[in-house]
Amino acid sequence: MAGSDPQATGGAGPATERTRRVRLLLCGDVMTGRGIDQIQRHPGDPRIHEPYARSALQYLEIAERAGGPIPRAVAPDYVWGEALAAADRARPDARIVNLETAVTRQGEPWPGKGIQYRMHPANVGCLTAAGIDCCVLANNHVLDWGRAGLAETLTVLRAAGLRTAGAGRDEAEACAPATIELPQAGRVLIFGFGSPSSGVPAEWSATRDRSGLCVLDEADDRALERVAGLVRAARRPGDIVVASVHWGGNWGYRIPDEQRSLAQRLVEVAGVDVVHGHSSHHPRPVEVHRGKLILYGCGDFLNDYEGIGGYATLRPELGFAYLPELDARAGSLVRMVLVPVRIGRFRVNLATAEERQWLLETCNGEWRVFGTQLVDVRDGSLELRWG
C-alpha cells in the first residue's frame, strides 16, 4: 500500500521549488511485427508459421474487416497516431517501451513455438520516430527467430541509437542496465527481466557463453538477491532505477501473491524506484508502495490484434501511456498522469470520452484494494491518487 512519503499522500500536492522532478514515459507491449510490419515502407517476408495462419497479411485483412481500410507504405510515425503528440507535449526525460518483436531477417522460427513476431530491420524508423530511448527486450518474443535473430535485433536497434535492456550476447550484457543521462544530473537505469510466468522458455536464459535474456523467476527465492546485486553494482547517487519485468499471464486483474511480494521487495530490498510490469493484454492494477511506483501490467500499447475475437469484455484495445513524475533525489512518486489510448487501424489513437470513462470506472473498481484510484482531469487525461 502507499507509504508515508509526505509528497506521496494523495498524490495531489505540488512539489516545492526545491524538488526537481524526473518525468518518464512508460508503455506496455509494443509489437511492430507481422501485420504492422506489412504496412511499413519495407515489409518483410509475410510468411509465418502459426497453427491458424500462414501469412502476416491475414492479420491485416482481419483488422480491415473490423475497422476499415489501413494505408500501406505508411510514414514511420503513422503507428503512433495521436499518442505521439500527447507524449511530445509531456516532454518526458526518458521514453521506455517493451519491444515485443524481433527486428531481423535472420534466423529460423524457434522450434515448437506457435507464434513468432518479427519486423524488417529497414522499418526501425517506426521506433526512432517516437523518440524512444530504451527498448526492453526481456520478453517471450524477442528470440522468436532464434539467437541469430536476436543478434541482428541488437545490432539494428543499437545502430539506430536505441538503448536496449534485458537481452544480450551473454548474461553480463543481458543483465546490464540501459543508461539514460538526465539533463541536469543523475541517470535513469533500466534493468530488463523476463519471467517464465510470461512464457519465456528456459532455453532463452542467457549464460556466460550463450546469448539470451536476463531471467527473473518470481518463484525463485534467490531472484531478489540477484536483482539487488545488479542494482548495487550499477547505481550511483542521484540515479533513478527502473526494473522492467515481463511477467504473468495475458488476462485478468488478479495479481499472484508471489508477484506482489516480489514487486514490493524489489522496492524495499533491491532499492528499485519503479517496477514497470508488462505482459498482460490490458492494464492491471497500480500500487504505490513506500512511495515507489509499481505497475503490475501496463497492457498492450501497439499490436495487430484488431478484429481477433475473445476477451472482448476486457477491452484489450484500450490502454494507457503512463507518465510518472518522480522526485529526482528520492525516486519517490510525486504525480502520475495516464493518457487513455485505443489501438485502431494499426495505430495508437487517443481514447474517446466513452472509452476514457470505461477505463476510469473499471480501473477504480479493480485497483481499490491496492490503495489507488484515478480521477478525470480537464485535458482528457486521468491522474493517479493514492494514500
Paired sense of beta strands 167-168 and 212-213, if any: antiparallel
**Would residue 1 count as lying in a domain?**
no
**Would residue 2 count as lying in a domain?**
no
Domain CATH number, residue 346: 3.60.21.10
**Would residue 269 count as lying in a domain?**
yes
Distances (CA, A) of 69 to 42, 184, 345: 19, 46, 7
**Would residue 69 count as lying in a domain?**
yes
Dihedral of alpha carbons 337, 342, 343, 344, sign: negative
- In angstroms, the CA 2 to CA 386 distance is 6
pLDDT for 10 beyond 70: no
Q: Is 288 exposed, middle or buried (0-12, 13-18, 19+ CB in 10 A)?
A: buried
pLDDT band at residue 183 using 50, 70 and 90 as cut-offs: confident
Q: Cell numbers 541482428 correspond to what residue?
A: 152
Mean pLDDT, the chain, whole residue set: 94
- In angstroms, the CA 350 to CA 373 distance is 21
What's the pTM value of the predicted model, to 2 decimals? 0.94
Domain that holds residue 70: 9-386
Q: 71 phi and psi, to 5 degrees?
A: -65, 160
Looking at the structure of the chain, the number of domains it has is 1
- In angstroms, the CA 215 to CA 6 distance is 35
Report which of 241, 231, 267, 232 is spatially closest to residue 94, judged by C-alpha positions: 241
For the record, the C-alpha cell of 196 comes out as 517464465
Summarised one tens digit per residue, pLDDT across range 151-178 is 999 999 999 999 999 999 999 999 999 9
For the record, the C-alpha cell of 147 comes out as 539467437
pLDDT for 4 beyond 50: no
Looking at this protein, which amino acid is placed at residue 174? A
* Confidence at residue 218, expressed as pLDDT on a 0 to 100 scale: 93
**Would residue 353 count as lying in a domain?**
yes
Summarised one tens digit per residue, pLDDT across range 241-275 is 999 999 999 999 999 999 999 999 999 999 999 99
**Would residue 4 count as lying in a domain?**
no
Half-sphere exposure of 35 (CA within 13 A, CB side): 23
Summarised one tens digit per residue, pLDDT across range 300-330 is 999 999 999 899 999 999 999 999 999 999 9
- In angstroms, the CA 384 to CA 324 distance is 9
- In angstroms, the CA 363 to CA 356 distance is 11
Per the CB < 8 A criterion, the answer to whether 109 and 50 are in contact is no
Per the CB < 8 A criterion, the answer to whether 333 and 291 are in contact is yes
Q: Cell numbers 524481433 correspond to what residue?
A: 102
For the record, the C-alpha cell of 181 comes out as 543521462
